[in-house]
């Protein structure tokens, strides 16, 4: 699983002109399920995101998590994070999970996030989304996790 976290002061997702998700202070979570990802990988990724200390404390040191600052999560599916660009000029996406499995893992991740965190908003899986954000810092953190049993 690949995630790109962006610490934001605000972020939103619009589909076909309609606002479908919005947060203020928090994390924009761009998420890509890859072939072979499991529920256990999604659980581990969510735990990492919720505890990652990338918000400033009273001294400006990155020492607080999204939970510590009561920030929101805006979770957006983005299969293009699995892009393979080592050859040619057109990205390939063969490492991304198949659409049905990608949707299942995205829905699972969102469900777990909603059970674990007070404020969760989402994009729409497989939709053409317009994502707007104000990156705070800027702070952008890529995370890749794989099933250690394979």
pLDDT in tens, 69-81: 999 999 999 999 9
Query: How far is it between the farthest Cα atoms of the chain?
Result: 48
Dist. CA 82–CA 17, nearest whole Å: 27
pLDDT over threshold 60, residue 150: no
Band of pLDDT at residue 149, cut at 50, 70 and 90: low
The CA-atom distances, in angstroms, between 106 and each of 72, 89, 129 are: 17, 28, 15
Active site residue 67: no
Band of pLDDT at residue 148, cut at 50, 70 and 90: confident
Catalytic residue among 6, 78, 121, 122: 78
Active site residue 144: no
Catalytic residue among 6, 79, 109, 122: 79
Q: What share of the chain is helix, strand, coil (3-state, %, to 5)?
A: 25, 40, 35
Q: Is the distance from CB of 64 to CB of 15 less than 8 angstroms?
A: no
Active site residue 38: no
User: What domains are there in the chain, each with its CATH number?
Assistant: 2-137 (3.50.80.10)
Q: Is the distance from CB of 99 to CB of 125 less than 8 angstroms?
A: no
Q: For 95-124, what is the mean pLDDT?
A: 98
């Amino acid at each position: 699983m690949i995630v790109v976290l962006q610490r934001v002061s605000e972020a939103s997702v619009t589909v076909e002109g309609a606002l479908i998700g919005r947060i203020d202070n928090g994390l924009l979570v761009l998420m890509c399920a890859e072939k072979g990802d499991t529920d256990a990988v999604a659980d581990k990724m969510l735990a990492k995101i919720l505890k990652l200390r990338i918000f400033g404390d009273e001294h400006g040191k990155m020492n607080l998590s999204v939970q510590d600052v009561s920030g929101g999560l805006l979770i957006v599916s983005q299969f293009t994070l699995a892009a393979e660009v080592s050859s040619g000029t057109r990205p390939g996406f063969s490492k991304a999970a198949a659409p049905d499995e990608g949707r299942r893992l995205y829905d699972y991740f969102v469900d777990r996030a909603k059970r674990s965190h007070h404020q969760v908003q989402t994009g729409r899986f497989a939709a053409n989304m317009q994502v707007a954000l104000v990156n705070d810092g800027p702070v952008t953190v890529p995370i890749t996790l794989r099933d250690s049993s394979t």
